[in-house]
Amino acid sequence: MLIRRPSELAPSDITSPALYARRREFLQLSAGLALATALPASAKLGPGKASTLSTTETPTPLKHVAGYNNFYEFGTDKEDPAQYAHKLRTTPWTVSIEGLVKKPKTLGIEDILKLAPLEERIYRLRCVEGWSMVIPWLGFPVSTLLKQVEPLGNAKYVEFITAVQPDTMPGVRRSVLDWPYIEGLRLDEAMHPLAIMAVGLYGDTLPNQNGAPLRLVVPWKYGFKSGKSIVKIRFTDKEPTTSWMKTAPQEYGFYSNVNPDVNHPRWSQATERRIGEFSKRKTLPFNGYAEQVASLYTGMDLRKNF
């Protein structure tokens, strides 16, 4: 077991020129693919303000971050999203925020991008399947977005509803999951400073397969909690039933916090394979963010509330 100590790199040193070169290759490639729905190449979003919440671990190469995805709307194989997501229409894009709020709103993506200065958040991502990555996201706190609508006092949960475009998403023609894909958080989880709305990664706009143009990133929970391509956010007083809870309630709970001591019924969660590494790592409680988030769950039985 290789135990890595955090390196002493400045945040600006983390993305190597070689990676940036590969990013360009990738963008050129996807631009070629996207010719049919050609959009003018936009100026770079990033690099974004560095954040003290970022990890100093080495980011996973972009080709893997954008080439190995679970985005079932585009197919259930890991390579499907990279192959098919270029068709996703990301403009125009609106997000309606509604439910138990004082001022329900529908915001265009261009307005959302102006809500707050973008930050670079380099987070670990742990998939429920037992692999992990380190991803330099570009985004802003979820709380910034949620505060726009002034939640009412009885709002306890936030539901995130994602896009369904039957003509661009080959996966939604089959009912593998209950579309649209729905995720949810408790309001205090959503307002936690670690939870972000991401609009980019590696200093630029999100590749479609990573959930363009707007996605949730909740680094202390399994990856599936971080819904992609969000179109609606609803405040509720009841715990939302998420898509995975509907599909397999005994396997996926509402909280789905990364927890090495609570196994998925069909596989162990004690270890994980960081993409690009040979040996496996021990999975950390709350994906290594216990210090920041464990207090959200004081007094809760995390085995019952898995």
- Residues binding other proteins (CB under 8 A): 60, 63-64, 67-68, 72, 76, 78-79, 129, 131, 174, 176-177, 247-248, 263, 265-268, 270, 273, 275-276, 278-280
- Determine the Cα–Cα distance for residues 25 and 37; give it in Å rounded to an integer: 19
Count of CB atoms situated within 10 Å of the CB of 65: 24
Nearest approach, Cβ of residue 161 and other proteins (Å):
19
Nearest approach, Cβ of residue 141 and other proteins (Å):
29
Nearest approach, Cβ of residue 206 and other proteins (Å):
18
Nearest approach, Cβ of residue 199 and other proteins (Å):
23
Per residue in 209-220, is it b (16+ CB within 10 Å) or e — as a string? bbbbbbbbbbbb
Q: Which residues fall within 8 angstroms of residue 253, CB to CB, at 6 or more apart?
A: 245, 305, 306
Nearest approach, Cβ of residue 2 and other proteins (Å):
12
Nearest approach, Cβ of residue 118 and other proteins (Å):
26
Nearest approach, Cβ of residue 176 and other proteins (Å):
5
What tokens were used for 42? 């936009």
For residue 116, CA distances in Å to 34, 46, 148 come to 29, 13, 12
Pick between residue 268 and residue 295 the one whose CB is nearest to other proteins. Answer: 268
Strand ranges inside 38-181, DSSP E: 49-50, 94-99, 105-108, 119-126, 131-141, 157-162
Q: Which residues fall within 8 angstroms of residue 13, CB to CB, at 6 or more apart?
A: none
Location of structure tokens 């949810």: 184
| Listed residue (195, 171, 173) closest to 185, CA to CA | 195
Pick between residue 140 and residue 254 the one whose CB is nearest to other proteins. Answer: 254
Q: From the centroid of its chain, how far is CA 289?
A: 16
Pick between residue 49 and residue 280 the one whose CB is nearest to other proteins. Answer: 280
List alpha helices for 223-270, DSSP H.
243-247
Nearest approach, Cβ of residue 187 and other proteins (Å):
28
3-state secondary structure of 212: coil
Task: Count H helices and E strands in the chain, helices first.
Answer: 8, 13
Pick between residue 98 and residue 129 the one whose CB is nearest to other proteins. Answer: 129
Pick between residue 158 and residue 258 the one whose CB is nearest to other proteins. Answer: 258
- Determine the Cα–Cα distance for residues 15 and 82; give it in Å rounded to an integer: 22
